[in-house]
Amino acid sequence: MTAPDRLLVWAAASFHAALIVAGLVTYLHAQDAAGAVFGDFGTGTGFAVYVYLWVLSTWSARRVLHDATVTPDGFLPAAWELLGRAAAWGAAAGALFVAGAGAALAIAAGMWQALFFVLTFPVVAGGIAGALVGAALGAVDVGIFALAHRLLPPSSGPSTP
Amino acid sequence: MAAEWLTLAVRTLHVLAGATLLGGAVALAAVAARSTDAGGVVSAARAYEWTFWAAVGVAVATGVGNLGALGDALPSTGTGWGNALALKLALVLALLVGSLARSFLVVRAAAPDAAARPAGAARALAVAYAATAAVLATVVAAAVGLAHWGWS
């Protein structure tokens, strides 16, 4: 496994976590439900969930982009390969997010029976949702990379940055 | 009392993150526009991008915390305040998408393969950071309005 560009991984992972949360807030605000939903979250719990999402995003982005390379023709790996990886690692991240966050909430509430439930069907559902979200975010990434490449094509010969 | 201090801490972090984002973008736009040292501009841009995305994470997390502190008192979309918040959120989403493209330009400008580096990258980065600063300034203006103006 080659080392990916760490800045690329950091930017993509941070973008994914921020876009998921900001998109969710925008949707909930449009439904006039943001205050009710986030008001029920404690500040510490909310931060912990965000940091957990950020860590999982970084973990999955590092695996999706493990051999990512900037080339004169654009970006490697190819878009379809990237989308497949994004869906697969998105599924893993989604399952881990539901398992981790659900287990923590169940343990904090002392609901051990709920813990067993959280680690079954919701984890599967989290994996499916994670695959869909991962594929969608992968498509967004590919589109943004293609746009950036088109806006500023590489020089035909040796150049200074 | 503890809740008030926590709210103040969250708001302070939110403002500091915003100041880091906007201040850095303005500084880099100015440096990239004037500098003749393209390599230096790219190095500074790479350093800023690390800070930028960290500050974005802090700003989003504390922004949600601010909304959560309002709870059921959060004005609806039918009010001026609610519409201003919707505008701010739309600008934030646009900022996120545009910033990933900008980060990709920075990564390309620093590509080890010389043929993959775009010509005129420093000028492109100057434009990208100026655009980032402009959107961020609008977001900050909306945030100031939300915090201090009694839209209804």
Tens-level pLDDT at each residue, chain A (161 residues): 456 688 999 999 999 999 999 999 999 999 988 888 887 777 778 888 899 999 999 999 999 988 777 666 666 677 888 899 999 999 999 999 999 988 888 887 788 877 888 788 889 999 999 999 999 999 999 999 888 888 777 665 444 44
CA distance B104 to A12: 9
CA distance B75 to B113: 52
pLDDT attached to residue A161: 44
pLDDT attached to residue A149: 81
Whole-structure pTM value: 0.90
| ipTM, two decimals | 0.91
Identity of the residue in A12, A32, A71 whose CB atom sits nearest the CB atom of B116: A71
CB under 8 Å to B130, separation ≥6 — which residues?
A: B29, B33
Bridge partners, A70 (sequence order): A75
CA distance B142 to B152: 15
Cis peptide bond N-terminal to B75, omega within 30:
no
Give yes or no for a contact between B116 and A70, defined as CB atoms under 8 angstroms apart: yes
Highest mean pLDDT among A39-53, A113-127, B80-94, B99-113: B80-94
Mutation target to probe the B interface, by most B beta carbons within 10 A, among A7, A31, A37, A40 is A7
CA distance B57 to B65: 12
Q: B40 to chain A: which residues are within 8 Å by CB?
A: none
- The pLDDT > 70 percentage for chain B reads 93
- Structural element, H or E, at residue A76: strand A74-76
CA distance A107 to A86: 31
Token pair of A112 as six digits: 């051990």
CA distance B49 to chain A (A): 8
Q: A18 to chain B: which residues are within 8 Å by CB?
A: 56-57, 60, 96
pLDDT attached to residue B147: 84
The stretch B65-94 carries a mean pLDDT of 88
CA distance B34 to B37: 9
Rg of chain A in Å (alpha carbons): 18
CA distance B53 to chain A (A): 6
Whether the CB of A67 is below 8 Å from some CB of chain B: the reply is no
